[in-house]
Amino acid sequence: MTARTRVAVIGGGRSCEHEVSLASAASAAAALDPSDYDVVALTIDPHGTWLDAGGRPIGLAGAAHVLRGCDVVLPVVHGPHGEDGTLAALCELAGLPYVGSGVSAGALAMHKWVTKLVADAVGVMTAPGVLLTAATAPTYLWTHPVVVKPVAAGSSHGVSLVERPEQLDAALTAALAVDDRVLVEDLLVGREVDIAVVARPDGSRLLSPPLEIVVDGLFDHDAKYGGTADFRIPANLTEAEGKAVADAALAVFDALGCRGVARVDFFLTDAGVVLNEVNTMPGFTEHSQVPRMYAAAGLDYPALLDLLVRDALELATPCA
């Protein structure tokens, strides 16, 4: 009888995406085939304390002991202190195979301003914008509609659409409550189209069908989780539009050095494809965007998780 693979599924975390991460981790743990996988659940509470499968505090030392007994790690922690390369660094130091991007790619993709610089360097357009801090925010003068967002946050926390000058102060305050750096970008008019990329150990890339988000107004936290957004898979794109989105996604994915899976979000405008952001650990319940995109191509949720875990193990196996 072949021994089951022992996989540690980590959820939670200290960011504002804690609850979303718990849902993703629970969903992933339940979907891994028990005939192939022995799942070990670990949780990081909102204060950073590590908990075992029973919810008992075990601390980092206790978590390290549990992780040493696992074959591979599936870190489903969104946002800062997880997706930003923090957990990848822990796994690297422990010598454990793990699903997802490495330390540098996680850190670069989490920093929206740096992601813009990388995208611009490989010829992928981004929205014109400025980087502000608490010290420089009061000097910013509103002249046209903009989107204000924290530099390093997810699930649209702290994101505001500013259509009138009197809305600016509240938007900056909301963003600075989440992060000490703020990105102010020009409001773009266009279709919101996302695509996912999986990097395989042989160097190939598995692209999902594109997804279009149809929403009335800003695709904010309420729209994401309130069920008001209309996800259309596959997006109704021309052949040229589909190729442009795919090419741009691959260019940014590879330039950042991503691996595992990432979701790359774009605006499709009259000027062409414009990058919005890159998520190296996107929402990962069965009903989240990335699993739904791959399911539309025939790769269902359990199969996608199996692919990612097996690829992580293969990537960590030295060549003969």
Residues annotated as part of the active site: 17, 155, 225, 263, 265, 277, 279, 283
- Tell me, letter by letter, the H, E, C secondary structure of 134-169: CCCHHHCCCCCCEEEEECCCCCCCCCEEECCHHHHH
* 142 CB neighbour count, 10 Å cutoff: 16
The HSE-up count of residue 311 (CA atoms within 13 Å, CB side) is 22
Residue 59 is which amino acid?
A: G
Strands (E), 45-138: 50-51, 72-75, 125-126, 129-133
Q: How many CB atoms lie within 10 A of CB 2?
A: 6
Q: Compute CA distances 29 → 76, 103, 220, 222, 316, whole Å.
A: 10, 23, 27, 26, 21
C-alpha pair distances (Å), 131 with each of 49, 105, 110, 134, 166: 32, 20, 15, 11, 20
Judge whether 50 and 58 are in contact, CB under 8 Å.
Answer: yes
What is the rounded CA–CA span in Å between residue 203 and residue 190?
32
* Contacts (Cβ under 8 Å, ≥6 apart) of 218: 147, 156, 159, 160, 161
Strands 125-126 and 272-279: parallel
